[in-house]
Structure 1
Amino acid sequence: MDTKIYTFDEAFQASLAYFQGDELAARVWINKYALKDSFGNIFESTPEDMHHRIASEIARIEQNYPNALTENQIFELLRNFRYIIPQGSPMTGIGNTYQVASLSNCFVIGIDGQSDSYGAIIKLDEEQVQLMKRRGGVGHDLSQIRPKGSPVKNSALTSTGIVPFMERYSNSTREVAQDGRRGALMLSVSIKHPDSQDFIDAKLEQGKVTGANVSVKIDDEFMQAAIEHKSYKQQFPIQSDQPQYVKEIDAEFLWKKIIHNAWQSAEPGVLFWDTIIRESIPDCYADLGFKTVSTNPCGEIPLCPYDSCRLLAVNLYSYVVNPFTKDAYFDFDLFAQHVMYAQRIMDDIIDLEMEKINQILHKIDSDPENEAIKLAERHLWEKIRDKTLLGRRTGVGTTAEGDMLAALGLIYGTDAANEFSEKVHKVTALSAYRSSVKLAQERGAFEIYNAKREKDNPFIIRIKDADPDLYAQMVKFGRRNIACLTIAPTGTTSMMSQTTSGIEPAFSCVYSRRRKVNPNDADVHVDFIDEVGDAWEEYIVFHHKFVTWMEANGYNPAKHYSKAELDEMISKSPYYKATSADVDWLKKVQMQGRIQKWVDHSISVTINLPADVSEELVGQLYVEAWKSGCKGCTVYREGSRSGVLVTASQEKIEEAQSEKDEKDQSCFCYNNVIERPKELPCDVVRFQNNKEKWIAFVGLVNGRPYEIFTGLADDDDGIVLPKQIVEGKIIKNKNEDGRSRYDFQFTNKRGYKTTIEGLSYKFDPEYWNYAKLISGVLRYGMPIDQVLKLVSGLQLNSESINTWKNGVERALKKYIPDGMTAEGKKCPSCGQETLIYQEGCLTCQSCGYSRCG
């Protein structure tokens, strides 16, 4: 491995040249995918270095089998992100000796049988965290947890139901950092479960279940009952012939609840579970451990417990010859050959994953922890290793669908485009399965392959009807992989391939951005001067493949065009009325359904809707998705997460603000301040500022920040807390001299309570005074995003206080509802006012830029 170390600037300049001046792509690659150690040392200067690293490792595995691909052949497939693009975990982990992490992008965990004891629930919590720390996204199902009010044989007497455990798993996710990013979690539940409505509503309460995606598993019986205005039976256990608990519900009411919540907050997603199970090839082996129970966080991989998947995408745009001309055509022969290579490379990556799992097991063995502590983690990875080898599941997918269609002159969302997309994915499926059959001849079939078990599977029948010879070969030799295909979101990787993502259309053809300039330089055009006097120039950035269309049609991308000229130009392009905000939503759902017929796993796709669409339209799209054969569906209505999570006190604040505006008052004054209770529930937020460990105590009223105390956590007389606090609260007391003090009492995981007296004396007095100021504003109900503006706007000369200020901002961002628009803020990358808060991070909906902290 190359041990040359590059500075960030060296890597940035080199990768900037590699990406031909695309700063966003260069930063994404360095921050997420360049090889680096835990100290931040960078060992690769461009993606070419990365592709050599990956090609070398895959070629090493190839040498173990007949007809091996050479390192150069593999490198040319990867080079410049042109043809084959390994996704996040494989791209980061292959050949990386600086971290011990899995190559799998996603996992599902679960408990065999109907166990919902505390032991089983806590076991899943531990397994979830163990997987997330190795960079994996995790999904698991909550349908086995007994409904609220059910009798239990412990001191609680009755069950609390699903929601408290949703919060537990969500909080665990938020605790885990994965190379600078949060963990990812999918929680699902069957619509048949009596607590499914509570599950569906859980995320509407402010601050609840913020660390998980949630999806409800909907069966055909429920859909039919909802459409026909009939009742539906819920029961527990959900699969039992003799359930302990049964209730009849109005299916239409619950269906409208799902639609309303999705319209209002973009969740829950829906999983059409009967379609998933009916189409699932692995479920032909359900009795052998491959019963599908949930999906990964983005929903594109339905999985059985302890199975995992690695992902890879084929860049569809690169197979368009003479793009954006009348002579454009799709090279199906080259494409089919490369899909076969992609499937082969995916199978090689399984072998590389086995090496990674063995490294993980070796690290567990060598850790100085007690054997009893290590046992659970070791057993987890042994189960994953065994399931991975038993099925050898792969995840070959595609990206750049939108650009492929435009390059061929097809308008995204039209019947002609949908028909062509289906043809492309049919070839993808046949080629991947042909490759898997050939691999079975060379390397052996997956261990439990049985043609009789699969003969009635709808997907296998489609393969048989489309290519009888391929099916005959599969029956004779078997298949190397139990399932092969998926279409995952390819957000950051599509930035590096400079194409559209997954099967999505282009987001926009034109973006407006800004760059800081020196107004004294010659030939500088100043468009904007900010509040601190810095001068900025505005400039236009085009979608990469729109530039290719411009050049093919005689336009000069370097020329300055007026808005009218741009509008006229776009109207002549194949992107006209075919970008994210313009496509026919119904056609997009139908397109997803047609492609799904040729994808044995599932498809991650979001239907983006304008803010003014009705709930009825969302319902129509969901029904159409079900009828079209989609396995799942997610909608996002523009701005739908802004202001959704509003407590009663916040509603009063908004009313007071409205009255203030009407009376033209000049002061910030609310009369609904809540008197400080003696005890407040408290969140503990840990973070780092300039490598110093900091801690914040956030007192809550109705789940909303009411006060905050923060400072260094590792002073000589500072505060030392265990990593896991089950429950904490701030108690207001008085000293002997009559002065108020604030004590922090917490309960650890063993149930012991500890009290730390006098938070006001533990932190720097200057921090304390500013904390009282900010706490006063919080108590009077100022919205959290406005509090952040107030804090960030403080002009302080003390470096330590400015560090404190940054800490307050980090701690409070956690409580801004996901999806809330960052008003008045422009994306530093693309200049658009499309920044939203997402789990405390500012994320640009236009270009994908993200900044946390």
Structure 2
Amino acid sequence: MSPVDVDAAPATFRPTSDLSQETLDYFGGDDLRARVFFDKYALRDPRGRVLETVPPQMWRRIAREIASVEPTAAKQAEWEEKFYWLLEDFRFIPGGRIMHGAGNPKRVTLLNCFPAGTPVLTKRGFLPIQHVLPGDEVLTHRNRFKLVTHVMERETEEPLVELAVFYLGDQSIRCTPNHRFYAYDPSGSTRWVRADELTKGHYVKVDRITETIPLAELDLLDYLDGGGLEEDGSVYTAMPYVGGNGAVGVKETRRVKRRVALDEQFGRWLGFFVAEGGVTDNSVYFTLSKDEPHLAREIAGLTQSVFGLDASIQERADQPRHWMRVYVHSRVLVRFLRMFFDGRTESHEKQVPQWFLRMPQSIQKAFVGAVFAGDGVISEKSVGLFLANPGLIRQIYTILFRLNVVASVRWEGMLRYTKHRGMWINVGTQPYADAIKAWIRGDFAVESTLVEVDKNYFYKVLDGDLFIKVKQVTYAAAEIQTVYDLAVEDDHSFTVCWLGAHNCYVIPVRDDSIESIFDWMREAARTYSLGGGVGTDLSVLRPRGAPVNNAARSSTGSVSFMELFSLTTGTIGQSGRRGALMITIADSHPDVLDFVKVKRNLTKVRYANISVRVSDEFMRAVESDREFPLGFANEHAEVSRMIRARDLWSELIKGARDYAEPGLIFWDQIKYWSTSEYNGMGVITTNPCSEIPLEPYGNCCLGNVNMACFVSDPFGAQPRVDWERLEPALRAATRFLDNVLDYNADKHPLPAQKAASLKSRRIGVGFTGLGDMLIKLGLKYDTDEAVGFVDQLFERIKNVVYDESVNLACEKGVFPAYDADKHLAGRFVATLQPPVLERIRRHGLRNVALLTVPPVGSGAALAGVTSGIEPIFDRAYVRRSESLSQETFKVYHPLVREYMARFEVEREEDLPLFFVTAHQIKPEMRVKMQAAIQKHIDHSISSTVNLPRDATLEDVERVYLLAWKLGAKGITVYRESSREGILITEEQAAAQSAPATPVVEERRAATPRPRPKVTAGRTERVETPRGRIYVVVNEDEWGVCEVFVHSLDVEAEGVGRLASLALRGGIDPREVIEQLWRVQSKEVAFDRSSSGTVVRVTTIAQAVALALGRALYGEDFRPDKEFPRADVLPAPVNHVRQQTLKFAPNAGVASGSEPIPEVGIARPTNGEAAGNSDHSARMEFIGICPDCGAQLVHENGCAHCPSCGYSKC
């Protein structure tokens, strides 16, 4: 069967993510390589069925597809075989999108959706997905409620997946095949898995409510709809009547406690009413069996304790089966219950208010115990509950999960005594049944804990979360139907039938938009959706403070749009597609200092790489310590100022050492050596990993020659480069990538990208495995001998590749924008050997540029070689076991393993010196190696210089200066642990696992400074959608120290208390203002300051932010006009009641010289917000692999995972 013959696949072949033994055997048991192939590159059909189990099937598919653009059948057959030879044994590794996409049947849909009727758990309860609205809060996979921002719908004809799991009975979930669920997979990891890739070996996460609301009591007056009277803490109603002889009187109802405590007694009484209760117009009653007098007495006692009402117990011998009833005669209680249950008090329709699902667990235990006591089926080993009320059963089932009880639920037909279809809950696992029995007895101190039990394979407990085993995955018949999806803020997930499902992401379009910026977003999103990456430069945008022609008065600046661009990338990139973004800015742009610092707040711009385009003029200004001009000018705005070059340089160095951002691109070097600076092909920025400078709408076409494959007699007496095979491989690779341009021509997301691609025919023949090649040749990477050898090697490679482009020009024609005179005037072309130059003069070139060194990442892991031009990162890695034990074990780099086996070397220490690793190489030698290769690369190089943990600012500065002086086009420096968790070698892992020696007071807890006895401040009245509030802002000798909020809304006090705690804990008031202002709602109130400035306020939190801002910046503070970003607001000044700062986006006021109080969190400096501090950097988690949870490694200019092969690039 052909690897792409989808229809011929066996009908019984099911979607799976289980690694096949055939795949593992092909890679000689190397689980990492096998997993990278199987998970990332093996072809699957539209339903997720694996069609390729070994690489030769993939090589044949790719070879056939890329050869298909040849003009004749004979040529296609010829080049299919030549390309297969090229790909075989990983001699050539195409870019990941080529490996995955060539010949891949289209299987991407725009939305991952559920059909109408699918129940979604919201704060309003379970709602059909089509009834969920923007503004609803839904339970997410993090067991918390988050806001729905958008609801999407579309029509589809595709067959839907039907997912069934154990414990949910016949509650199957239908969804589009690509919708993802959070699952534990057979390899032992937890991750998001497509529905059509789920198997019976998967366990899907159950979402549970963990939030508890602080509701202490109910006021019965609130439930009497204005008709209640109060006296001595009780409520009653009174109704006039006319008696005999026309006498008028007033009939009063029985008194009921006005305030009902929400405690275990109330929960117990409510449970009995749900199970056994009903109402008439005048009474509340409970129907019990004559065998349950103890329950009757308990209900009567609870009624007196909870409501202050007496109850009567009446036996009814005339009733079948001898029932008894408990009566409570109280119209007030009847009215309360009807309002409490929203008018639905019949047995088949009762449901508790949705807020009850978030009540304290002790109250819910009392409730559950009473329900099971009243309607449960109790046996020695299990407990069960049947109710002809599916809505209530779902609520109780949700509560059981919250109480850590594992239960099953199933539909049941109408039983003998019911008129409505019912549902069963069954608790058949002993520890959970015992807990419910304790609650039935009234022992609410008993806790249920999620534990795995012997011989129960239907669920797993991982880190306190419950995962339920998949029972079956099938397909429903195809039909035209409407399907829906939700966009959820922050967690990007929601709960469907108690299971955690991923959502699609949407970036809402806000007002005050700029057409070109939002055009960029639209085009970038489309590019990401089809697997592309994007680079953009911000230098064309006006800087912060420049005038604008709209209501904002001044621009927020180019940096303010970075988060928007980043979110666009993350939105697409995290939905199963690969979004990648590079943002650059010129060193002369007035916003460059803001740009350099933006990612020091580790919550900002998370989905983009950033680099500064550095000029030779700037570098010379740094060397001579002189001023450097910043400027921006267009027809709308002009801004200019001078800065000390070394001030910007110091921030660049600090960013590189402490945050690994931004990178440096030596832009004058790129422009100087560029081969495309004519006919509209001039480069303006780079691709996301910076190895390809690009023109507008230019794109990358990349593949990598595996240099490790081309060594004769490796480790022998006379090892040498196998040019007899390397040169044909270089020529075939050049043709292969040129064919990809034609194969992909109609697959570009944007017409402009297609036009740019075919106009220049830019390709990137790249290289990987150089570190392994040098080892096989016996050359130590960090020696002058190795650098000299590599210089000569790439000199020859350059000429071979360019010569092949001439051959293609002769056969197929030059690239459309080719201009012989202009191209031959380029400085790079002039470095070619005279015979090649002469051939170019006569025949031209097929491609405007041809060579690069990209990050190879997963491709190198697949081939089992070093990445790009990097040395071995480490001789051995620490990997986690895929079993539940998660034990670690040592995995050798493949070439190290091969050498040790061949020469019977038992210890790493006995390896030859040429097995040098990245951490053992002096940074200067890494720079020299990159510079030697760069001379022969017409594009650029993505590579990383790894520095030790104790590297200083001066060490980083030396690397940067040396790279510039040696002619590198860019450089990436990575200091170990500059982002905690990215680099981990075997030695570090051992150090991390060793017991730590306690260090006294190495890091103190954050302790707020004491409140002084006397403070001074101001009180301001602010209008909010919830009514008028009063905000008191006080300060001590250190500045603003507390905020009091007086409001009828008791939760408003919590906002003030937390703000005060943050302020006295040393948090910058600007950060407090920004965070409070972010709390928004759809309600609006308008508040006018004492100066007449009107501000839109949507929440109490925003009102507090407004009052705090006015205290600091005066009455004209307008956070609704210009978002109050902490890094834009002026620095606060102490004793602000005597001083008023002018509020402007670019205002900056130096703080006074008062001493900083001793608090647990250091007070941030004026130049940076609190989020930019080194303290924040220690909390960074970006170095964790999103696929397997292992530590990422940063090499070849990109983060990738040595454990599973994931690559960020």
TM-score, length-scaled by structure 2: 0.50
The CA deviation at 1:180 is 2.7
Letter in 2 for 1:540: K
Q: CA 1:664/1:643 → structure 2, altered by over 3 Å: closer, same or farther?
A: closer
Contact map agreement 1:10 1:45 (CA 8 A) in 2:
no
Alignment-derived partner of residue 482 in structure 1 = 848
- Distance, in Å, in 2 between the alignment partners of 1:41 and 1:626 is 50
For the pair 1:574 / 2:914, whether they are aligned, the reply is yes
Q: Report SS of the residue matched to 2:932.
A: helix
Alignment-derived partner of residue 470 in structure 2 = none
Contact map agreement 2:533 2:578 (CA 8 A) in 1:
no
The CA deviation at 1:246 is 2.2
Alignment-derived partner of residue 19 in structure 1 = 27
Q: Report SS of the residue matched to 1:309.
A: coil
- Distance, in Å, in 1 between the alignment partners of 2:73 and 2:811 is 7
Higher share of residues assigned helix: 1
Match of 1:494 among 853, 860, 875: 860
Match of 2:814 among 445, 452, 457: 445
For the pair 1:427 / 2:796, whether they are aligned, the reply is yes
- Distance, in Å, in 1 between the alignment partners of 2:17 and 2:639 is 63
Alignment-derived partner of residue 71 in structure 1 = 80
Contact map agreement 2:92 2:703 (CA 8 A) in 1:
yes
Identity %: 35
The CA deviation at 1:638 is 0.7
Alignment-derived partner of residue 309 in structure 1 = 700
For the pair 1:412 / 2:806, whether they are aligned, the reply is no
Match of 1:606 among 917, 928, 944: 944
Q: Report SS of the residue matched to 1:581.
A: helix
Alignment-derived partner of residue 903 in structure 2 = 553
Match of 2:836 among 454, 470, 473: 470
- Distance, in Å, in 2 between the alignment partners of 1:408 and 1:65 is 41
The CA deviation at 1:148 is 1.1
Q: CA 1:13/1:387 → structure 2, altered by over 3 Å: closer, same or farther?
A: same
Q: CA 1:663/1:586 → structure 2, altered by over 3 Å: closer, same or farther?
A: closer
Provide Cα deviations, 1:414-437, integer angstroms capped at 9, x if missing partner: 111111112222222111111110
- Distance, in Å, in 1 between the alignment partners of 2:33 and 2:1178 is 24
Q: CA 1:537/1:228 → structure 2, altered by over 3 Å: closer, same or farther?
A: closer
Alignment-derived partner of residue 327 in structure 1 = 718
The CA deviation at 1:445 is 0.5
- Distance, in Å, in 2 between the alignment partners of 1:127 and 1:819 is 36
Alignment-derived partner of residue 214 in structure 1 = 610
The CA deviation at 1:540 is 3.3
Provide Cα deviations, 1:560-586, integer angstroms capped at 9, x if missing partner: x5xxx332x23x3520xx201111210
Contact map agreement 2:610 2:663 (CA 8 A) in 1:
yes
Letter in 2 for 1:484: L
- Distance, in Å, in 1 between the alignment partners of 2:1003 and 2:798 is 66
Contact map agreement 2:707 2:770 (CA 8 A) in 1:
yes
Contact map agreement 2:818 2:848 (CA 8 A) in 1:
yes
Alignment-derived partner of residue 28 in structure 1 = 36
Q: Report SS of the residue matched to 1:79.
A: helix
Q: CA 1:728/1:75 → structure 2, altered by over 3 Å: closer, same or farther?
A: farther
The CA deviation at 1:35 is 1.6
Letter in 2 for 1:80: D
Compute the RMSD of aligned alpha carbons.
Answer: 4.1
Structure 2 counterparts to residues 107-122 of structure 1, below 5 A? 118-122=514-518
Contact map agreement 2:653 2:953 (CA 8 A) in 1:
yes
Q: CA 1:228/1:50 → structure 2, altered by over 3 Å: closer, same or farther?
A: same
Q: Report SS of the residue matched to 1:62.
A: coil
For the pair 1:244 / 2:638, whether they are aligned, the reply is yes
Contact map agreement 1:679 1:731 (CA 8 A) in 2:
no
Q: CA 1:455/1:514 → structure 2, altered by over 3 Å: closer, same or farther?
A: closer
The CA deviation at 1:36 is 2.5
Structure 2 counterparts to residues 558-637 of structure 1, below 5 A? 561=906, 565-567=907-909, 569-570=910-911, 572-575=912-915, 578-637=916-975
Contact map agreement 1:440 1:477 (CA 8 A) in 2:
yes
Q: CA 1:427/1:226 → structure 2, altered by over 3 Å: closer, same or farther?
A: same
- Distance, in Å, in 2 between the alignment partners of 1:824 and 1:232 is 36
The CA deviation at 1:194 is 1.1
Contact map agreement 1:324 1:548 (CA 8 A) in 2:
no
The CA deviation at 1:6 is 6.2
The CA deviation at 1:511 is 2.9
Alignment-derived partner of residue 648 in structure 1 = none
Provide Cα deviations, 1:285-310, integer angstroms capped at 9, x if missing partner: 1xx22121110111100001111111
- Distance, in Å, in 2 between the alignment partners of 1:131 and 1:598 is 31
- Distance, in Å, in 1 between the alignment partners of 2:686 and 2:861 is 25
Provide Cα deviations, 1:371-405, integer angstroms capped at 9, x if missing partner: xxxxxxxxxx1111111111111111010010000
Q: Report SS of the residue matched to 2:20.
A: helix
Q: Report SS of the residue matched to 1:144.
A: coil
Q: CA 1:471/1:52 → structure 2, altered by over 3 Å: closer, same or farther?
A: same
Alignment-derived partner of residue 600 in structure 2 = 204
Q: Report SS of the residue matched to 1:396.
A: strand
Alignment-derived partner of residue 345 in structure 1 = 736
Alignment-derived partner of residue 367 in structure 1 = none
Q: Report SS of the residue matched to 1:489.
A: coil
- Distance, in Å, in 1 between the alignment partners of 2:692 and 2:965 is 20
- Distance, in Å, in 2 between the alignment partners of 1:413 and 1:617 is 18
Alignment-derived partner of residue 2 in structure 1 = 5
Letter in 2 for 1:602: S
Provide Cα deviations, 1:293-336, integer angstroms capped at 9, x if missing partner: 11011110000111111110000010011112222111123212
Q: CA 1:23/1:225 → structure 2, altered by over 3 Å: closer, same or farther?
A: same
For the pair 1:259 / 2:267, whether they are aligned, the reply is no
Q: CA 1:663/1:385 → structure 2, altered by over 3 Å: closer, same or farther?
A: closer
The CA deviation at 1:708 is 12
Contact map agreement 2:659 2:1177 (CA 8 A) in 1:
no
Could you tell me which runs of 5 or more consecutive residues in structure 2 were left unpaired when the two chains were aligned.
Answer: 110-511, 983-997, 1011-1040, 1044-1050, 1056-1070, 1081-1095, 1103-1118, 1124-1158, 1162-1174
Q: CA 1:64/1:541 → structure 2, altered by over 3 Å: closer, same or farther?
A: same
- Distance, in Å, in 1 between the alignment partners of 2:45 and 2:1185 is 32
Alignment-derived partner of residue 92 in structure 1 = 100
Q: Report SS of the residue matched to 1:308.
A: coil
The CA deviation at 1:703 is 7.2
The CA deviation at 1:57 is 0.8
Q: Report SS of the residue matched to 1:210.
A: coil
Match of 1:457 among 818, 821, 826: 826
- Distance, in Å, in 2 between the alignment partners of 1:461 and 1:514 is 51
Contact map agreement 1:233 1:248 (CA 8 A) in 2:
yes
- Distance, in Å, in 2 between the alignment partners of 1:824 and 1:54 is 33
**Greater gyration radius:** 2
Alignment-derived partner of residue 232 in structure 1 = 628
Alignment-derived partner of residue 758 in structure 2 = 389
- Distance, in Å, in 1 between the alignment partners of 2:1097 and 2:698 is 36
Alignment-derived partner of residue 177 in structure 1 = 573
- Distance, in Å, in 1 between the alignment partners of 2:704 and 2:763 is 11
For the pair 1:403 / 2:799, whether they are aligned, the reply is no
For the pair 1:354 / 2:745, whether they are aligned, the reply is yes
Alignment-derived partner of residue 691 in structure 1 = none
For the pair 1:56 / 2:422, whether they are aligned, the reply is no
Letter in 2 for 1:498: G
Contact map agreement 1:817 1:837 (CA 8 A) in 2:
no
